Chains A and B, each alone.
Chain A
């Protein structure tokens, strides 16, 4: 389970393409894909290997006009699902 202080980046080799207002994320060597809505796509973009999950929650709350505590549970669950799918990894992972 990720923690607020954790930092993640997008796994190397992952390929993305916008489709409508969604983002298709393909993990080639796992033959898997994930489709992200605009918020999910923004979280992925913010996972730059420097920002913590807390930083990302603050940024998302700010951008979408929500209270940080409102978005926190979703950010944490979302990050966990992307870690489980091997889309997000610790920096250098």
Chain B
């Protein structure tokens, strides 16, 4: 536990420079190697420390609810004390030695979600698929079929089946792969062509989605930030702005059909 190490997590304009026990960071460094590239904007330093004085973890950190106040997000549960300061641009996690790499990974994910938002992006609970060189974010309620839709999208590149980063560049939005879920690693970024709200249906169709419902579902699928009243007004405004540039559709699909041809016919 004493050997300390470093690693870097870089996606679009986000960047975390992490230091902490090698026993926790080694696995993350390996798994997240494609996201250890060059830093554009200054990285946030993230320190991770083992603390034997904390209680033993009762459950993974994943179950802890992030709480924000005055720009500082805290993430606490037995065995963990995390603090992410968006205005100072830094984060710190103390964890009991029995914590795992997955716990540290979850903390980094929360920190990245906050940093991305502070830098005009959005971490989005959606599957990202690239079809004909354009990216689509497939989102929906729990069990709506994101993973299934990503699997059915073979052989098109899947950026990730659970979490993607939406990032504005030169007035256009792009969709980035993240290490937080399963991707095929074929591709890491694409221009964002559409947001597709998944609806299981006997037929395949692309239908308009009421703006209010679209906004609600987009907000509901914004991890970390949507649960906090401090962030929420800006989260809603951010999505409203994005919806003015990127179309949102309801994608009615069924498990055994290649729905991409239908999308192509509608969106061109």
Interface residues of A in 1-57 (CB under 8 A from B): 13-15, 17, 19-20, 22-24, 26, 28-29, 31, 33, 35
Contacting residues, chain B, for A33 (C-beta < 8 A): 216, 219-220
Inter-chain contact B219/A20, CB cutoff 8 Å: no
With most chain B CB atoms within 10 A of its CB, the pick from A20, A29, A31, A33 is: A33
Inter-chain contact A19/B240, CB cutoff 8 Å: yes
Residue of B nearest to A32 (CB): B220
- Given A26-B236, A33-B220, also A19-B215 (CB < 8 A): yes
Contacting residues, chain A, for B118 (C-beta < 8 A): none
State which size class the interface on A falls in. Answer: 10 to 19
Query: Taking the nearest CB of chain B, how far is it from the CB of A78, in angstroms?
Result: 17
Inter-chain contact A17/B233, CB cutoff 8 Å: yes
Does B228 belong to the interface (CB within 8 Å)?
yes
Query: Taking the nearest CB of chain B, how far is it from the CB of A31, in angstroms?
Result: 6
Q: Which of B212, B227, B236 contacts A31 (CB 8 A)?
A: B227
Query: Taking the nearest CB of chain B, how far is it from the CB of A44, in angstroms?
Result: 14
Q: Which of A15, A19, A23, A35 contacts B232 (CB 8 A)?
A: A15
- Given A29-B227, A31-B227, A33-B219, also A22-B212 (CB < 8 A): yes
Contacting residues, chain A, for B210 (C-beta < 8 A): 20, 22, 35
Contacting residues, chain A, for B236 (C-beta < 8 A): 15, 17, 24, 26
Inter-chain contact A28/B212, CB cutoff 8 Å: no
Q: Which of B213, B216, B237, B240 contacts A26 (CB 8 A)?
A: B216
With most chain B CB atoms within 10 A of its CB, the pick from A19, A23, A35 is: A19
Interface residues of B in 208-257 (CB under 8 A from A): 210-213, 215-216, 219-220, 226-229, 232-233, 236-237, 240
Query: Taking the nearest CB of chain A, how far is it from the CB of B86, in angstroms?
Result: 17
Q: Which of B211, B226, B229, B237 contacts A13 (CB 8 A)?
A: B229
Contacting residues, chain B, for A14 (C-beta < 8 A): 229
Residue of B nearest to A20 (CB): B211
- Given A28-B227, A33-B219, also A17-B211 (CB < 8 A): no
Inter-chain contact B212/A26, CB cutoff 8 Å: no
Inter-chain contact B211/A26, CB cutoff 8 Å: no
Query: Taking the nearest CB of chain A, how far is it from the CB of B60, in angstroms?
Result: 19
Contacting residues, chain B, for A24 (C-beta < 8 A): 212, 215-216, 219, 236
Inter-chain contact B215/A17, CB cutoff 8 Å: yes
Query: Taking the nearest CB of chain B, how far is it from the CB of A79, in angstroms?
Result: 21
A14–B212 Cα gap in the complex (Å)?
Answer: 16
Report the 10 A-B pairs with minimum CB-CB distance, sorted nearest first.
Answer: A22-B212, A19-B212, A15-B232, A17-B236, A33-B216, A13-B229, A35-B212, A28-B229, A19-B211, A19-B215
Q: Would you mind naming 30 contact pairs between A and B with Cβ atoms under 8 Å apart?
A: A14-B229, A15-B232, A15-B236, A17-B233, A17-B240, A19-B211, A19-B215, A19-B240, A20-B211, A22-B210, A22-B211, A23-B212, A24-B212, A24-B216, A24-B219, A24-B236, A26-B216, A26-B220, A26-B226, A26-B232, A26-B236, A28-B228, A28-B232, A29-B227, A31-B220, A31-B226, A33-B220, A35-B212, A35-B213, A35-B216
